[in-house]
Amino acid sequence: MSSKAERTTRFIIETVAPIFNKHGYVGTSMSDITDATGLTKGAIYGNFENKESLALAAFEYHRNILLTKIDEVLDVEGNAADKILNFVKFYRQYDTFTVKLGGCPLVNVGVDAQDNNAKLASASRETIKEVEGKLAFILENGVNFGEIKLPVSPLQFAKQLFTILQGAVVMGTITRDRKYLSNTVAFLEQSLQVQFKN
C-alpha cells in the first residue's frame, strides 16, 4: 500500500510527463505544471527538489513505459527473425502508442534537451543505447544459433534498424503524415524477410 506522499508524487509525474514531452524542458513552465496538477508550487517542490528533477522523473516514467512495451514486443515465440520482425511491426502503430505520452519521448526529449539540459539529453541517449542493446542481443543469438546471417555486426545492424525506424518517426511527426511510418515498416518487413532468409 503506497503512502499519500507516494501517490501524490506518482500523480504529479503521470500528469506532467506528457506536458514536458510535448512542450520541452524550457517550454514547460511552473504555471503549466500547477495548472495541470491543481497543486501549488510549494506542493510540487515538496515532492521534487526542482524542475529538473521533475523533468527527469517524467522522462523516466515514459522511458519505463516504452521499454516495457518493447520487451513485450520482443518476447514473442519464435526465432530471432520473428522477434525482430515483430519489433518492426510494432512501429506500424508506434505513433498511436505514443499519443498518450505526448509523442515519442526519445525524439521529443532527445532533440529538445540537447542544448537545454545535459541530464535529460544523457538519459535519452542511454535509453536509445538500451533499445539498441536489446535488439543486438536478439540478433547475436540468432547468428550464434544459425537462425540468421547479417552483413555487419549485430550491434551495427541493430543501430541501423533503429535509426531507420526512429527516422520515420521524426519524418511522420514533422510532416504529420503517418505514411512515413507505415511505408518504412512495410519496406523493412520486406527487406528483413529477404535478409534473414540469406
pLDDT at 5: 84
Q: What is the percent of the chain where pLDDT is above 70?
A: 99
Q: Any residues with CB less than 8 A from the CB of 41 and at least 6 apart, and which? A: 30, 34
For residue 2, what is its C-alpha cell? 503506497
Cell of 195: 535478409
pLDDT-based confidence at residue 28 (cuts at 50, 70, 90): very high
> Domains of the chain (ranges plus CATH)?
58-197 (1.10.357.10)
Q: How far apart are CA 118 and CA 3, in angstroms?
A: 32
Are residues 83 and 147 in contact, defined by beta-carbon separation less than 8 angstroms?
no
For residues 95 and 93, what is the distance between their CA atoms, to the nearest angstrom?
Answer: 6
What is the amino acid identity at position 93?
Q
Write the CB contacts of 53 (distance below 8 Å, at least 6 apart in sequence).
none
Q: What is the tens place of the pLDDT at every residue in 80-135?
A: 999 999 999 999 999 999 999 999 999 999 999 999 999 999 999 999 999 999 99
pLDDT exceeds cutoff 70 at 138: yes
User: Model-level pTM greater than 0.85?
Assistant: yes
Average pLDDT over residues 74-81: 97
* pLDDT surpasses 90 at 181: yes
